[in-house]
Structure 1
Amino acid sequence: MSACNASETFIDVRRILPRMHRHPLIFAAFEALKQSEALVLVNDHEPWPLLYQFNVRHPGAFVWHYEEEGPDVWRFRITRAA
């Protein structure tokens, strides 16, 4: 995990092994965000399971925006909502 700037954190989840550690790390990073701060994530597959979990765990508390949509790399921003 690394910082992009003062209001966003960058995580390349492709580098996190074993894979079962990815979602807990992402949720911990999101929960540490202040309002309007963001996570920028890079993944090697469509992140539908993660999006589903965000909708269950944090309904209405985030904005999900794709910056790149495959087929080999998905880059997306998850911003903590007001």
Structure 2
Amino acid sequence: MSKGRQQNERKSYSGYKNIPHRERYAKILDTLDSLNEGDVVEIIHDHDPYAMKEQLSQIMPGMFEWSYIEKGPYDWRVDIKKVFKKPQIQNSSHMDNLFYSDKYTSIH
């Protein structure tokens, strides 16, 4: 268990290195969306996922905390903790379309 991680937090692992780039971002978003508040997922990527972190901070500010475990040169390992759930919106299709649109699947 990492320093500072509470015992009730779930930690899972997701490797994305073998998933084609055009599918990778959507799969990471699905993983993050499935987390409960307080859950942590470790992602392993073949390059720094900094662009994804910045984009998520613009789309959903303050929803995730990031902690780098390893910074290359071959693997980037990041613990991502969901600190609060996505707000419920009466018509959430706009947010879902923004969050999962093709515009964001090309980031790598």
When the two structures are superposed, what TM-score results if normalisation uses the length of structure 2?
0.65
**Aligned runs of 1:51-62 on 2, under 5 Å?**
51-62=53-64
2: CA distance, partners of 1:59 / 1:40: 20
The yes-or-no answer on 1:10 pairing with 2:31 is: no
2: CA distance, partners of 1:9 / 1:24: 17
- Please state whether the residue corresponding to 2:36 is helix, strand or coil: coil
2: CA distance, partners of 1:76 / 1:43: 8
The one-letter amino acid paired with 1:78 is: I
Structure 1: runs of 5+ lacking an equivalent = 1-5
How many residue pairs match? The answer is 76
The CA RMSD measured in Å over matched residues stands at 1.4
Q: Which has the larger radius of gyration?
A: 2
2: CA distance, partners of 1:57 / 1:77: 19
When the two structures are superposed, what TM-score results if normalisation uses the length of structure 1?
0.84
| 2:44 matched residue in structure 1 | 42
